[in-house]
Amino acid sequence: MVIPLPEGSYTVNASKEFVQYDSDKDNLKDRAASLLVDIVPFLIATSQDLIVVDPGLGLLNSKGEYHIQENIAMHGHSVDDVSIVLLSHLHKDHAGGISYGRENAFNLMFPKAKYYCQEKEMEYAFTKKNSPSFLPDRLHYLKRTSNLELINGNGKIGNDIQYEISGGHTPFHQVFLIESDQQKLFFGGDVLPQPSQLQRKFIAKYDYDGKAASAKRIEYGNRAFAENWICLFFHSATISMARVKEKNSKFLIEKV
């Protein structure tokens, strides 16, 4: 079982402020120098665990409920049911949902879960004290809890989860390959956040190493095609899950 948990569309500018965007009411031209992105965490059930991958912004919706809590409840689960939280990296749009609260009164969003993060990725985040891309108070809180499992390099969690450092977007960004219902699910985080990025070659200025990220997209596209992965796209609500096909040496996207 894999379920997208969309939190809506947002514009983000150089200050890394995420502002909700409603295509029925808002005009992108009014938000100069802003990038429009969707936010889509995922809920995955394996033979052993209920997993959240990159828990999103951690914001409240119009009803005063946390997006991710409400979305999980809509599918018959509670945040208490989640046993594993996987973090591709620690930018706030991916990791803001690790907890809720403020300053010295934080609580884990998933109190019974183990949170898996690359140790060097967390060290890197703490060097960016003045960067608006991170939420250092929440990261320091997570680091103090017994729920955090810091990992190093490539490896496995149980029988169903593989993790692999990709780099590119951040120095120690990681991707995940998860087995669920006899299918292989690939989560590429911000190295492969949208299906359209498989169909054009580019080097993004927002990446730590744009050339490395560009090369990884091609590598993951080839592997997805060869191994029939279902790719999960964090920044695409219209096509949040797809298989990769190939024709005339070009990638094609087949929505799942």
What digits encode the pLDDT tens for the residues 170-182? 999 999 999 998 9
CB neighbours of residue 81 within 10 Å? 15
Provide the pLDDT for residue 201.
87
Domain at 44, CATH number: 3.60.15.10
Number of domains in the chain: 1
DSSP 45-101: E-SS-EEEES-B---B-TTSSBHHHHHHHHTT--GGG--EEE-S---HHHHGGGEES
Structure confidence at residue 114 (pLDDT): 99
The residue count of the chain comes to: 256
151 φ, ψ (degrees, to nearest 5): -120, 160
Question: Residue 250 — pLDDT band, cuts 50, 70, 90?
Answer: very high
At 156 the three-state DSSP class reads: strand
Higher pLDDT, 114 or 33: 114
| pLDDT tens per residue, range 57-108 | 999 998 999 999 999 999 999 999 999 999 999 999 999 999 999 877 899 9
Per the structure, the complete domain to which residue 49 belongs is given by 2-255
Q: What pLDDT shows up at residue 62?
A: 87
Predicted model pTM: 0.96
- At residue 54, does pLDDT exceed 80? yes
